[in-house]
Amino acid sequence: MKIAMNTGGGDAPGLNAVIRGVVLAASQKGWEVFGIKYGYQGLIDTKQIIRLTPEVVWDITNLGGTILGTASKGDPFKYLVRNSDGTVAETDISDKVVSNFKALNFDALIAIGGDGSLRIASEFMKKGIPIIGIPKTIDNDISATSVTFGFNTAVNTATEAIDRLHTTAKSHDRVMVVEVMGRNTGWIALHSGVSGSADVILIPEIPFDIEKVCNKIRQLELIGQNYAIVVVAEGAKPVGGDITIIEKRSDGVVRLGGIGKKVAEEIASRTGKETRDMVLGHLQRGGAPTTFDRLLSLRFGAAAVRFIAEGKFGTMVALHSSKIHAVPIDEAIGKMNTVPLDSDIILTARSLGISFGN
């Protein structure tokens, strides 16, 4: 067997561990593995393909990022091609990807990515490329798996940052507002906020009322806590308001950011408290994966090879309880894994007195 593998979308801690899991498991079967660089770019320009032997991946389990490089643009179904007159047009070059895949005699593609990359993988499956998907995102917003790798590491990073902010908040009697990632879902904000003893957590699933956030801060003062920690997911929005966008790309994808600053400004002007805000940003995507993420990634990689051997094409590797399953890719991309409002962590947060601003 000759296996191709790519990583698409934002990087996440654990990607290299998945790559290692695939390569070592495939080599046990005597199969060859090739890395397609920068998402699908390596199947458009085939010079961007590298042989992945066990020696190449020997010591990469603990490395952040992806040795294959990744791309959050470059969907072959909507590829941006520059015309001779300088204008840029969206073109479908997916047939070129399929013909290169076939010409190189690949038997299967392991596509590691988030919602967007899995959607592209599903389209290629329909065009005849045998695909196994592996879910990746620090946001943990992919359905059909209980968790994605990268999430645990991101939560640890965010929790550690919140812990550090407590010292300044307490010493200066300040409100510290920290914006974490999570464009559509509040998993990182919720898990790190509860673990990091936040007073307020704002998530996309629960539109907030800024006056209720301020009331929580005033109540804390009444009981002698003159500081507060507010954790805000980048995709959080006020009741009746909208998400905060930094940039809208030509392909319609938006970059989020700035809600933390807005919340901090409102808190300062309404409560008169000294307030600071910070954005954790890509710090959450970097660094070595936690033990949990390494193990999950290695398991996902090894399982993808087993699924190829079993002919389970069109499926995605998923974790349910402690077991790894093959689920249809289309099930995973059909809907977003949002935080259930009756989930135990939300109930726990409310029991601890944490405000969601509602």
Say how far apart CA 182 and CA 23 lie, in whole Å: 31
Is residue 11 annotated as part of the catalytic site, yes or no? no
The yes or no reply on residue 10 touching ligand F6P (CB under 6 A) is: yes
From 130, 51, 134, 140, select the one nearest 304 (Cα to Cα): 134
Residue-by-residue DSSP string for 8-35: -SS--TTHHHHHHHHHHHHHHTT-EEEE
Q: Could you say which of 27, 46, 62, 72 contacts ligand F6P (CB under 6 A)?
A: 72
The yes or no reply on residue 256 touching ligand F6P (CB under 6 A) is: yes
The yes or no reply on residue 196 touching ligand F6P (CB under 6 A) is: no
Q: Could you say which of 166, 183, 299, 325 contacts ligand F6P (CB under 6 A)?
A: 183
**One character per residue 86-115, x = contact with ligand F6P (rule: CB under 6 A):** ----------------------------x-
Say how far apart CA 66 and CA 13 lie, in whole Å: 8
Neighbours of 127 (CB within 10 A): 12
The yes or no reply on residue 21 touching ligand F6P (CB under 6 A) is: no
Neighbours of 87 (CB within 10 A): 8
From 188, 128, 185, 114, select the one nearest 153 (Cα to Cα): 188
From 11, 75, 115, 139, the catalytic residue: 139
Q: Which stretch binds ligand F6P (CB under 6 A): 122-130, 164-172, 178-186, 268-276?
A: 178-186
The yes or no reply on residue 139 touching ligand F6P (CB under 6 A) is: yes
* Residue 247 near residue 214, CB atoms below 8 Å: no
The yes or no reply on residue 181 touching ligand F6P (CB under 6 A) is: yes
Q: Which is nearer to ligand F6P, 10 or 193 (CB)?
A: 10
Question: What values do phi and psi take at 232, rounded to 5?
Answer: -125, 125
* Residue 132 near residue 307, CB atoms below 8 Å: yes
- Least Å distance, CB 200 to ligand F6P, is 20
Q: Which is nearer to ligand F6P, 243 or 308 (CB)?
A: 243
| Residues classed as catalytic | 139
Report the interface residues with ligand F6P, using CB under 6 A: 10, 72, 114, 137-139, 181-183, 234, 255-256, 285
